[in-house]
Amino acid sequence: MRVAIYAFDGVSMFHLASPQMVFGTVSRLGLADWRPLLFTDASGPVRTLEGYDLGGLSDPNCAAEADVVVIPSWYDDGRPSGAGVVKMLRQAHARGATILGLCLGAFPVAEAGLLDGRRAVTHWRAMSEFTRLHPTVIVDEAALYVDNGDVLTSAGTASAIDACLHFVRSRLGAQAANSVARTMVVAPHREGGQAQYIERPLPSDPGDDTVARLMEWVTAHLDEELSVQRLAEVAHMSARTLIRRFRTATGTTPAAWVRSRRVDAVRDLLEVSSLPIERVAEECGFGSVVTMRQAFNQVTGTSPSVYRRNFRTD
């Protein structure tokens, strides 16, 4: 199987190396005859983000003959990919090639119209811009990768390896993917999704002084009972007025916002403390460990215990 990987000026060596390493390991282990090749439409050497010049790359005809075409990343500003790249992707897809848009590589794939009305994912920092540019694409904020069969997209940087291992698994089976993963000394399948890595800062200016003061008060009293009625009393307004003004200021309800802040507090304690899970639930205002786990999993796509193993700082 021929795998064509697009190289462009400014691409990072990690993004180029990830699909080469995974798919090249398939061949080196004798699992299948997979041949990854770098190609470019540049007239000369490709200069990487790290400042290295890559020469001797194949030309775009490589993509015209490939079984898989990989866009390993893209520019941080999500700039248009140009008519040449769009045409190349459309033609490859039309003749039956599988398209992989890894990390920001989802941008050119979406620009080519291959994700319209379909689920996709990209790096979490770029999701807002991606949604703005491609409103017909259904963005999955939590997934590490999304496989539509003919088109596969992945989340942030290291998720490219997850997506490529998934591709191996889907074509050659779990045993082959596990062999590749063991050789690379990486997990064959990571638990959870990209949501566990997303920074969720507090809104800096909700545009309503009363709501802003209430938000500050809530963050200092997360371990207390925080019903809408309690919040309304603190804000000196009716529950109906609070809900209306809170939604206008933040775009969400008081209950949803409080739950989100409590999950953020759980994340913080899991990262920096050794408190038992039961104590974490208590400190963050969850009525039980079960309730905390359900809320935490809904937001991050993983469990508190797995999150602690991944992010514990000491």
pLDDT at 94: 95
For residues 166 and 307, state if they share a domain: no
Contact 154, 71 (CB under 8 A): no
Give average pLDDT by consecutive 10-residue segment, the chain, 314 residues. 95 94 95 94 90 92 93 90 93 95 96 94 89 91 84 88 89 84 74 51 58 88 92 93 87 86 86 88 92 86 82 61
For residues 174 and 241, state if they share a domain: no
Domain that holds residue 268: 209-311
**Whether the predicted model's global pTM rises above the 0.75 cut:** no
Tokens of 189: 């399948």
pLDDT at 157: 78
pLDDT at 145: 87
Cβ neighbours of residue 308 under 8 Å, at least 6 residues apart? 270, 271
Within 13 Å, how many C-alpha atoms sit on residue 88's CB side? 26
Cβ neighbours of residue 117 under 8 Å, at least 6 residues apart? 136, 137, 138
CATH number, domain with residue 138: 3.40.50.880
Alpha-carbon distance of 55 to 110, in angstroms, equals: 28
Tokens of 28: 């080196």
Residue 203 lies in a domain: no
Domain end call among 194, 217, 251: 194
Q: Which amino acid makes up residue 293?
A: R
pLDDT at 99: 96
Domain end call among 136, 160, 194: 194
Q: Any idea how long the chain is?
A: 314
pLDDT at 204: 46
Please give the tally of structural domains in the chain. 2
Q: Which amino acid makes up residue 234?
A: V
Beta strands in the chain (DSSP E): 2-6, 35-39, 46-47, 53-54, 68-71, 98-101, 119-120, 138-139, 145-147, 151-154
For residues 160 and 264, state if they share a domain: no
For residues 214 and 190, state if they share a domain: no
pLDDT at 274: 87
Contact 301, 313 (CB under 8 A): no
Dihedral of CA 298/301/302/304: which sign? Answer: negative
Q: Is 273 exposed, middle or buried (0-12, 13-18, 19+ CB in 10 A)?
A: middle
Q: pLDDT tens, 28-73?
A: 999 999 999 999 998 889 999 999 999 989 998 988 999 999 999 9
pLDDT at 299: 76
